[in-house]
A and B are shown apart, each in its own frame.
Chain A
Amino acid sequence: MSSLKQLIRNENMKIYRRPRTWLMIGFLVVVLLIMGGVMKWDESRSSSSDWKQHLTEQNAQIQMDLQQNKAVDAESKKWQTNTIKMNEYYLDNDINPNKLSLWDYVDNSASLIMLVTILTVIIAADMIAAEFSWGTIKLLLVGPASRTKIMLGKYVSTMVFALLLLLISFAVAFGIGSFLAGFNGLTLPHLTIGADGIVHEGSMIVNSLQKYGYAIVSLLMYVTMAFMISAAFRSSSMAIAFSLLFMLVGNTLSMILSGYGWVKYLLFSNIDLTQYLEGSHPLRPEMTLSFSLLMLAAYYVVLQLVAWLLFTKRDVAT
């Protein structure tokens, strides 16, 4: 009888012995490097020598606007006062906000988790479907491993691949950051203005990990969806196409339909948890973080169940 550990080793062998996996990893690294380069180039364009003077001028300008009551609504008024507070904090602590720190590079790499998701979706879509198109599924299933075990092995390896890509992007972004901005920024605080209207110093690494964390939720859902479609339809192109389609139009679709109450039950309406961060609005006013987490958990269970049923119960006749 097969042990799960050995099955995972097999799946890993099949992932990493394929040249295209390394092409994907290479592509991710190149994109990260380019992004770092572009950020540095952009920084060098804005003159940073007279940043103190610039901030002081900006503050004076906003102050004047406020007094003249140019801003109409309370929202922008709040934003303006916050900007002034932030700028004063920068000036007091001698922090140049235009100068990129190590953490800015890491923070920005979180936006590339979209790419990590797409790459993992491609791998996930192939996990089961490719065995069918190669014809190897017959030999794979005719062995002392139950289909449930084989499927679990495949799912675990897919997730390990996703984790690997995340670690690579974090490490590469950290590397570029420390190369281009030095380690000086390592101890810089993450600044936020709380409800009390005071500037708070937070931990930069916690902030970065938080950004990664939210992105990982959508990664988990889309990859699981691709895996499910792969198991259900036994076609990798279909799995890739549907998952990417949902990724690209899902958000927009939810936005368009946000007038209807039932939209909150759609997967895409709940997948982006950053809508619950301070300063953003959820898709519908009645939606809460715990509601979304509950919906995501329900979708996750259903996807897994459908995939499992279709993979374990259906005959392999071709």
Chain B
Amino acid sequence: MKEAVLQLRNVTKKIGNRKIVDDLTFDIPAGEVFGFLGPNGAGKTTTIRMIVGLISMTKGEAIVNGVSVSKNFELAMTHIGAIVENPEMYKFLSGYQNLVHFARRHSGVTKQRIDEVVKMLGLQNRIHEKVKRYSLGMRQRLGVAQAILHRPSLLILDEPTNGLDPAGIRELRDYLRKLTREEGISVIVSSHLLSEMELMCDRVAIIQAGKLIDIRSLQENKETAQSKIMIEVNDLQAAHRLLASAFDETRLSVNGDQLEVSSDKAAIPDIARLLVKAGLDVYGIHAVKKSLEEQFLEITGGEMVV
């Protein structure tokens, strides 16, 4: 793993006797898009709000670039840009005035930088209009602009896709990719939309009932492991018997009119030879990657996400 941009150490939030977030300890590597994944009420938003100081921690510490958020809030926040839920802006101000408002909080954000960010997010045509006339997608872009004005090393987005239409979500995804590439920003995103996270993130932490269940890299996932082979033949029973001798029985299952083998595609030639030698008619063999959703359901024990 690369150097950590954010370290969480025993982060805990207790409300009454209930632990909303329970002893989270993990590092978020620099230069990646990192996702917080979990069912509604798992504690994603609470964790993110603790990192940015909106909610106090009962115990533990969040450290950004070596600066503790709870001990040195102002300095830590110079490293962070954030959008918490839908970015609500001052509607009676223009987009540009909103940016000036947020730029003033930081030392050293010049007019040129504001213009640069406006152009980068494609807002230049309507930046002097009042925000109340903006669409949600445009507000989202203005929110991103506001968050990156001061060149933070970490961008935190809490449920950024809430309320956005598919085009808006796609647009946001493109901006995030562009930002990590052009500005070298690390990004933390929380969401309950698995398919979105799969497209957006390099790595995800899966959180359930306030506890960290697993962290996995989605990049590795794409190349290796976690795939299955779907086989279409004329005689499913025969094929099942045949393959049971070559593979572990537990890795076989019948899925509709297809036989499913948990294995990567390196096994396909062997399977093909076996089936053909046995005189079965093979209509198709192909490898299928397990989606994040399936993996997620496996890990969280089948609890559905939305």
A binding-site residues for B, Cβ under 8 Å:
1-3, 6-7, 9-10, 13-14, 17-19, 134-136, 138-139, 141-146, 313, 315-317
A10 to B49, CA, bound (A): 24
Chain A CB within 10 Å, residue with most, of B86, B92, B146: B92
Question: How close is A92's CB to chain B, nearest CB, in angstroms?
Answer: 60
Question: How close is B74's CB to chain A, nearest CB, in angstroms?
Answer: 4
B83-125 interface bits toward A, Cβ cutoff 8 Å, 1 = contact, 0 = none: 1111111111100010011101111000000000000000000
Given contacts A9-B104, A315-B56, 7 further A-B contacts (CB under 8 A): A135-B86, A139-B83, A139-B146, A142-B53, A142-B80, A144-B75, A313-B56
B105 near A2: Cβ-Cβ < 8 Å = yes
B106 near A144: Cβ-Cβ < 8 Å = yes
B105 near A7: Cβ-Cβ < 8 Å = yes
Q: Tell me what chain B mostly uses at the interface: helix, strand, loop, or mixed.
A: loop
| Residues on B with beta carbons closer than 8 Å to the beta carbon of A138 | 54, 84-85, 88
A3 near B54: Cβ-Cβ < 8 Å = no
B74 near A146: Cβ-Cβ < 8 Å = yes
B binding-site residues for A, Cβ under 8 Å:
49, 52-56, 73-75, 77-78, 80, 82-93, 97, 100-102, 104-107, 143, 146
A10 near B54: Cβ-Cβ < 8 Å = no
CB within 8 A of B106: which of A2, A13, A17, A316? A2
B74 near A144: Cβ-Cβ < 8 Å = yes
Return the chain A residue nearest B143 by Cβ.
A139
A146 to B105, CA, bound (A): 11
B97 near A142: Cβ-Cβ < 8 Å = no
| Residues on A with beta carbons closer than 8 Å to the beta carbon of B104 | 2, 6-7, 9-10
Q: Tell me what chain A mostly uses at the interface: helix, strand, loop, or mixed.
A: loop
Question: How close is A55's CB to chain B, nearest CB, in angstroms?
Answer: 57
| Residues on A with beta carbons closer than 8 Å to the beta carbon of B84 | 138-139, 142
CB within 8 A of B90: which of A2, A9, A136, A143? A136
| Residues on A with beta carbons closer than 8 Å to the beta carbon of B106 | 2, 143-144
Return the chain B residue nearest A141 by Cβ.
B54
| Residues on B with beta carbons closer than 8 Å to the beta carbon of A139 | 82-84, 87-89, 102, 143, 146
| Residues on B with beta carbons closer than 8 Å to the beta carbon of A19 | 92
24 A-B contacts, Cβ less than 8 Å apart?
Answer: A2-B104, A2-B106, A9-B104, A13-B100, A14-B93, A14-B101, A134-B90, A134-B91, A136-B90, A138-B84, A139-B82, A139-B84, A139-B87, A139-B88, A139-B146, A142-B54, A144-B78, A146-B73, A146-B74, A313-B56, A315-B49, A316-B49, A316-B54, A317-B49
Question: How close is A6's CB to chain B, nearest CB, in angstroms?
Answer: 4
Question: How close is A236's CB to chain B, nearest CB, in angstroms?
Answer: 15
| Residues on A with beta carbons closer than 8 Å to the beta carbon of B74 | 1-2, 144-146
**Given A1-B107, A10-B104; A17-B55 close (CB under 8 Å):** no
Question: How close is B95's CB to chain A, nearest CB, in angstroms?
Answer: 13
A315 to B50, CA, bound (A): 9
B90 near A142: Cβ-Cβ < 8 Å = no
A144 to B147, CA, bound (A): 12
Question: How close is A46's CB to chain B, nearest CB, in angstroms?
Answer: 48
A10 near B101: Cβ-Cβ < 8 Å = yes
